[in-house]
């Protein structure tokens, strides 16, 4: 399935969803998940499972980097003022002592 065909099919799904009355009413989480899953399948097209890992692994990698950065940012001591700068706090943090 080409990208143009996928886009046309996705447009028809969106048109169908807009024309139904369910868009005006609250949508349950299961309905939302099924619509998003269907849209993702249409846009993704037929992707082999072995090729799919080339999409998923980089996302996991960037997610892990982001999580580690957030954890280290939370664990870092607050910045010191210029007038009270002391390397002792940095040395304690580097040694693993809070």
Q: Residue 46 contacts by C-beta under 8 Å, 6 or more apart in sequence?
A: 1
Q: What is the pTM of this model?
A: 0.37
Closest CA to 75 of 51, 59, 60, 93: 93
Query: What is the pLDDT, as a whole number, of residue 81?
Result: 62
Q: Distance (Å, rounded) from C-alpha 37 to C-alpha 46?
A: 14
Q: How many domains does the chain have?
A: 2
pLDDT of residue 94: 74
Asked if residue 30 and residue 4 are part of one domain, the reply reads: yes
Q: Are residues 32 and 7 in the same domain?
A: yes
Does one domain contain both 54 and 97?
A: yes
Find the domain containing 71 and state its range.
48-79+87-98
Q: Within 10 Å of residue 27's Cβ, how many Cβ atoms? A: 14
66, 31: one domain: no
pLDDT in tens, the chain (98 residues): 454 455 566 566 556 655 555 446 788 999 999 998 888 888 777 777 777 788 888 989 999 999 999 999 999 888 766 555 566 666 777 777 65
Counts of helices then strands in the chain (DSSP H, E): 4, 0
How many whole angstroms separate alpha carbon 2 and alpha carbon 31?
27
Residue 6 is predicted with a pLDDT of 56
Q: Are 59 and 98 within one domain?
A: yes
């Amino acid at each position: 399935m080409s990208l143009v065909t996928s886009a046309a099919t996705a447009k028809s799904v969106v048109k169908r969803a807009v024309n139904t009355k369910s868009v005006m009413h609250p949508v349950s989480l299961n309905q939302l998940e099924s619509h998003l899953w269907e849209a993702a399948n249409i846009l993704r097209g037929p992707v082999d499972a072995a090729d799919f890992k080339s999409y998923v692994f980089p996302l996991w990698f960037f997610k892990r980097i982001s999580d580690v950065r957030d954890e280290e940012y939370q664990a870092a001591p607050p910045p010191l003022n210029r007038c009270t700068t002391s390397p002792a706090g940095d040395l304690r943090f580097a040694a693993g002592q809070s």
